[in-house]
């Protein structure tokens, strides 16, 4: 008979730890507000607020979240360990950015089913625009033809790039087209996928 004991002990206390658990649920789903969590779970704002204020632990929501997102049940319940185990998860967490007045700003993250993403993506980020979302590949060794997020003179924007001889590129958008040296721009990422809003 084995004398080995389980070293990880999780104490289940229904009337404490609820606030932190709800915050982890929001993070696991990739949301930025409690209202988004309410909408996803199909509950009223007052129901969530009641559990949050009373610090009631949301066991049912935690289990559902773990099933839907493949987030670690240990992490959801205690905050210990990694949120996701890459070996067991079939979702990938991709950080979001938004472009405001020519400057990129972090904007939480999105969970993607691995079957949806291109398999050759190495270091993707998602640019959230008004009408579209763009999955950018930020791991690259050279700039080739395509749509890129680039910084020019301190201003960041999406530009169509075409390679031309003598280490030059042609840059274009809906308003202007010009040529410059490849070293005159800072490439941030190449658009690998575009998701259009319906």
CATH number for the domain spanning 124: value is 2.10.109.10
The Cα–Cα gap between 42 and 71 comes to 20
- What's residue 117's pLDDT? 82
| 81 φ/ψ sector (left φ>0, alpha ψ -120 to 50, else beta) | left
Task: Specify whether 74 is located in the same domain as 171.
Answer: no
Q: What is the largest CA-CA distance in the chain?
A: 77
- What's residue 5's pLDDT? 44
Using CA atoms in the order 95, 100, 103, 108, what is the torsion angle rounded to 10 degrees?
-20
Please compute the mean of the pLDDT values over residues 150-168 and round it to a whole number: 95
> If pLDDT is split at 50, 70 and 90, which confidence band does 184 have?
very high
Is the distance from CB of 99 to CB of 191 less than 8 angstroms? no
Check residues 27 and 1 and name the one with the higher pLDDT.
27
CATH number of the CATH domain containing 57: 1.10.260.40
Average pLDDT, the chain: 87
Sign of torsion over alpha carbons 27, 33, 35, 36: negative
Check residues 176 and 2 and name the one with the higher pLDDT.
176
Q: Indicate whether 120 pLDDT > 90.
A: no
> If pLDDT is split at 50, 70 and 90, which confidence band does 102 have?
very high
Task: Specify whether 70 is located in the same domain as 165.
Answer: no
Report if residue 2 sits inside a domain. no
Task: Specify whether 113 is located in the same domain as 192.
Answer: yes
Report if residue 10 sits inside a domain. no
- What's residue 15's pLDDT? 80
- What's residue 32's pLDDT? 82
- What's residue 6's pLDDT? 39
The Cα–Cα gap between 1 and 23 comes to 42
Q: What share of the chain has pLDDT > 90, as a percent?
A: 59
Q: Indicate whether 42 pLDDT > 90.
A: yes
Query: In the 8-state DSSP scheme, what is residue 31?
Result: -
Task: Specify whether 102 is located in the same domain as 180.
Answer: yes
> If pLDDT is split at 50, 70 and 90, which confidence band does 12 have?
low
């Amino acid at each position: 008979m084995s004398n080995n004991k389980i070293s990880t002990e999780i104490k289940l206390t229904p009337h404490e730890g609820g606030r932190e658990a709800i915050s982890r649920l929001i993070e696991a789903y990739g949301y930025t507000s409690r209202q988004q969590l309410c909408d996803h779970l199909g509950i009223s704002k007052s129901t969530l607020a009641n559990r949050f204020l009373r610090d009631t632990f949301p066991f049912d929501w935690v289990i559902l979240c773990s099933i839907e997102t493949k987030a670690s049940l240990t992490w959801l319940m205690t905050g210990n360990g990694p949120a996701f185990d890459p070996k067991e998860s079939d979702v990938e967490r991709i950080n979001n950015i938004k472009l405001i007045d020519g400057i990129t700003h972090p904007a939480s993250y999105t969970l993607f089913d691995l079957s949806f993403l291109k398999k050759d993506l190495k270091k993707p980020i998602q640019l959230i625009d008004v009408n579209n979302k763009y999955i950018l590949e930020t791991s690259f060794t050279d700039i080739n033809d395509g749509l890129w997020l680039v910084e020019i003179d301190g201003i960041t924007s999406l530009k169509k790039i075409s390679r031309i001889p003598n280490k030059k590129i042609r840059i274009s958008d809906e308003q202007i087209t010009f040529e410059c040296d490849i070293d005159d721009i800072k490439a941030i990422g190449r658009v690998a996928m575009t998701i259009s809003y319906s």
